[in-house]
Amino acid sequence: MRGFLISVSAGTGCYRHIQVQADSTISNLARVILWSMNFVSEKPCEIHMDNRIAGPAADPDTVLSSLFAKTGQKFKLIYDPEDPWVFQCSILGPTEDETIETGIVRKEGRAPVQHEDLDRDYDEKSYPFIYPEIQLNRLYKKAGIKPKERERLELFLQAMVIFYNVIPVSKAYEIINEKTGVDQDVFQDYISIRRHDPDTYHVLNLIDPDGLDVMRHYLVSRSIVFNKMETLPKILSGQQGKEWFVPPGDPLTSFLDTAYLADVRYTKPLYHFLRNRLHQDDKKASHIVNYILRDIHDGTSLDIQGILDYMEWYCREKPGFTDTSIQEFIKIYNELYNHTRMAYNCGYTPQEIMKINPPEIPNSLQLGESIRGMLKSGEVDPVEFRELIETTAFPNENIRTDILRQLDEIVGPVKSASAPAKKKVGRNDPCPCGSGKKYKNCCGRPKGAK
């Protein structure tokens, strides 16, 4: 006996026939069952023999050949005991095939949806099937990818996904090749196999209609796929047309260092604010700093009110915010936001993006019909409006000049109420013409007087 043929049912009309090797363990069997139903193993799972849930679960390290004795033997797999999915299983019989490969022999019906936000047809083009570890190792060996080479590639790829959240496979290869000189064929073979093992990240086909060229796929972090899928279009849109920031020196160290996402000059004020103003201990203050930093980097970016609500909840045992402390926090948060590396910006901070692509400053600003109408009707005081324009800081002085020109066209020349009044010259005052004479003996002398 070299293996077993097993039937797995997820309800009426949905079943899979899988084959596994006799020397596999209960732990490997559980993973194959979940894989056959397109489930990602994120929670604990248990196998109960003889179809009984009340008894103890089978030891995960037990070898199948010592546990399965006869055809027709039934058992259950319970995935996530706290919120269980139950898969009914039975032994269809042993197999003596010397070349047995772990896999699906037959399938009927669509598998249940593990995550509602990923309700899709799990075809090989868009969302690949999950292979058990034993099958992955065989494929790597067949492709001639050595363990040390796999380990080095995987470390780089995981680090890049932590830093960028979403990155094209082609760009990931470009970065790795520059630092390690890895062969492109080896890299492609590795990705083609690795896409069937979404352990710490996913290799997804997001734009390739044929789905055949893995170099056109994307590396996507698990947190995006399972918790923040709605942010994926925003990240992809933000990355479009931008250069990719690659840390100087050894990028691997920087990719793996969460502190590299923002300079300590901008995280430290937030930490001190939490410690001194909100009276949080070191553990809570550090947690909130990392939470906000990761929120900004991932592109989820809760609004200020959302951040405040989270902090009020998390710090509920200590005094809350005051109006003064809220203003102080907003100032600190904005500085941190502008200097945090973002997935949306291909690893750049907003400040760096502004320097690379400075916004175009206009030379004029057209007053709309609404404000024009209110100026004509007197609903908006022209004098007050002029004072507002004269005292407002504009990025370009031409804008101020243009608005004042439009104001004169609408209501005629308007003098500002704050303009100094012309001082009346007294008869004995020095004449303003600069002659040195008294005003009454110069320009203030009555006409015709000698």
Please give the pLDDT value at position 121. Answer: 41
Please give the pLDDT value at position 57. Answer: 84
Give mean pLDDT, residues 52-77. Answer: 83
CA angle 269, 271, 276 (to 5 degrees): 90
* Residues of the chain by 3-state class (helix, strand, coil), percent to 5: 45, 15, 40
The two structure tokens encoding residue 105: 């022999």
Please give the pLDDT value at position 107. Answer: 82
Contact 300, 228 (CB under 8 A): yes
CA distance readout (Å), 272 to 174, 258, 299: 40, 19, 25
Does residue 375 surpass a pLDDT of 90?
Answer: no
CA distance readout (Å), 240 to 27, 170, 298: 42, 14, 16
Please give the pLDDT value at position 117. Answer: 47
Please give the pLDDT value at position 126. Answer: 55
What are the pLDDT digits (tens) for 18-32?
888 888 888 888 888
Q: Which of 352-366, 379-393, 408-422 has the lowest mean pLDDT?
A: 408-422
Top-confidence residue, 303 or 116: 303
Does residue 450 surpass a pLDDT of 70?
Answer: no
What single letter denotes the amino acid at residue 223? Answer: S
What are the pLDDT digits (tens) for 81-126?
888 889 999 999 988 776 566 778 888 887 787 765 444 444 444 5
What are the pLDDT digits (tens) for 184-223?
999 999 999 998 887 778 888 877 666 678 898 999 987 7
Give dist(CA 164, CA 297) in Å, integer. 9
